[in-house]
Structure 1
Amino acid sequence: MTRPAFFPLLHQPRRVLVGLMSGTSVDGIDAAVVSVTGQGEAVAAELLAFFNTPFAPQLRSRIFEAFSPEKATVRLLGALNMELGEAYAAAALHAIREAGLTPQDVDAIGSHGQTVWHEPQGDPAFTVQLGDGDVIAQRTGIPCVSDFRTADLAAGGQGAPLVPFTEFLLYRSETECVLLQNIGGIGNVTVLPAGCRAEEVSAFDTGPGNMVMDGLMARLTDGRETMDAGGRTAARGRVCAPLLEELLRHPYFRTPPPKTTGREMFGADYVDDLLARGRALGLSGEDLVATATALTAESIAAAVREYVMPRTRPARLILGGGGSYNPTLVSFVRRALEPLGIRVQTQEELGHSSDAKEAVAFALLADCTLRGVPSAMPSVTGARYPAVLGKLSFPGGVE
């Protein structure tokens, strides 16, 4: 059911919104300024400007503390919620200037926030995203939609993934099945069958994306490097097939969708255990990173083979997210999927931006919220009904 829009102006043919996103890799805030036109399934989005603001080292360190139940005190979480609100507001204002606009030209902001914990199978199920929407609204003078996941949780869903609704709007094809694979800290895939309706879309987390590789690099370099830039470390190593086979027996990969995962399953403890296994096998650091890179690629292929191909035959998979800039990982994904008859493309090969894709998605989701349009997909999250997502913060002025 479509509810009344909060703002009549959002019935206008054209709206301008800012989407904000920071993912599980914690490499910075993505801000996309987006022009949105049309209504319903005829909606279209044009990227006007995109800017990434890296997190200051001290703030990034505090975010990683918040990932640990032993360190995540109420004081830390409360302070970070406000600090991140300030950081998101600054990122939004910078992106607006980059677009040659002023805050008065922008109708709304959609901010995903920084996930520090996501436990959809908990009793009760809960999720925690930091970066207060009220702070963003007050500092920018622009209405802000935030805290997108809890409405779907309350409706009995996983609270994730949420981007598939926007992928359905922007990427579906009448003639072929298209897969959208994001490789951020976690990997997730959206399945768009040829000529699909919204209720036929499915999506789920495939497993670790960059998270394990990043964690290994940080441990192996004593924090000097936080990612395998350009896939160079993995390219120098050799995949340990026995260890890879063991890693692929993790229960998560055998769990059918709907499902989501995060640092709770593939975070610091998982990386520490993998390091210990690698040392016991006499593997070099390069071999371990190569094996972790192969784990991401093979888990994607396994997810497609086990949970997608029995229902539909994908023609192509479009890679996005930070992992698509890792040529070693991309080559591993191509090698894993080509035997399945699936061609692999990147967002850049199609003229899009891997960096901006999820920030654009949260601009579109905010547009839906403000028009009273449900954007959670029960076929994706397992919810009992489609919910209107997010909480709305109004500005009282700009300091």
Structure 2
Amino acid sequence: MKKIILFAVALMGTVQAMAQDPKKPDIKFSGFVDVYYGFDFNQPFSNERPDFLFNHTRHNEVNLNLGLVNMEIDGGFYRGNIGLMVGTYAQYNLAAEQDLLKNVFEANIGLALDKERKLWIDAGIFASHIGFESAISAQNYTLTRSLLAENSPYFLSGAKLTYTPNEKWEFEGGIFNGWQRIQRLPGNTSPAFGTRVTHTPNDKLTFNWSTFIGNDFPQEDKRMRYFNNLYAQLQVSQKVGLILGFDYGIQEESSSIVAVGDERAFEQWFSPVGILRVDFNENWGMALRSEYYQDEKGVIISSFSPAGFKTTGFSINIDRKITDNILFRIEGRHLQNASPNFEKDSELVRGNTLLIGSLAITIP
């Protein structure tokens, strides 16, 4: 009860501050379009790339990965965002949601809980607090997403508190409807939780630790999932940037495979990644990526191989900035599993190679 009273007092203080500062809210519109052509050298018969990838998923066709229109409202002591999208990213990444929700990129509102606007509460659908890569490709070092980004939440729904005491620290904690879910899974009554700590000691270095704790199964087969994402981003020089990331998660095994009275073990997955970005000048740049993803028990990525998903990846991309808001990118990427796991000519092979180009426009 004491916590509820304190929260109500803070909320009343926010409303009073809003009444004292009834400024007209700033409204900004923005957009993003990412058109791509990708050629998968395994030449899948369905023209669909492996199902653990959710961006640039179509083979041998020109397609729209993401078309986005976004409106941002800043009222000083309140804020909001609503974004609508189309494209293959929305088609594949939100396939489990209701039809009316599949085109929602974000939809959230927030209130400042103090006069200095250091403490905020936001509720709705918003970008995930996990990871260093977003669904907007032009914001990332590489054209395609890293394996750890593709297989951790891009978005979450629920409510979160964000506290920014100064320019060097930011803290976030939230309660969510599940692991990348707008609606909670039928039969699941368990809330999920997440945290984020971001430390920026100077303008060249950022450290981040994000977590997720929750159950993403119906209650009769409840399996707790504990997940950590760590990364450091370093601007080595004006032209060179480096990102080092690591994901580690564990999840309880299914109760159906455990004898009565026995304790359930945990199944784990992990993924390290390193990305080096070099800008030759204002118009040309490149990035090199090395990564590994191991999910032996198929917790996140199912595998055709009995040995599980144990994949090493390498990529190189070249970027050409045509104007300040138009970016052309081309990337070559190779994935190699420890055992045959990728389909080619109705057989399983160890490797998968992609050559892809993209033209992205950011508005404004």
Alignment TM class, shorter chain as reference: under 0.3
TM-score by length of 2: 0.26
More strand by share: 2
TM-score by length of 1: 0.24
Task: Choose 1 or 2 for highest CA Rg.
Answer: 2
More helix by share: 1
Q: Greater RCO between the two (CA within 8 Å, min separation 6)? A: 1
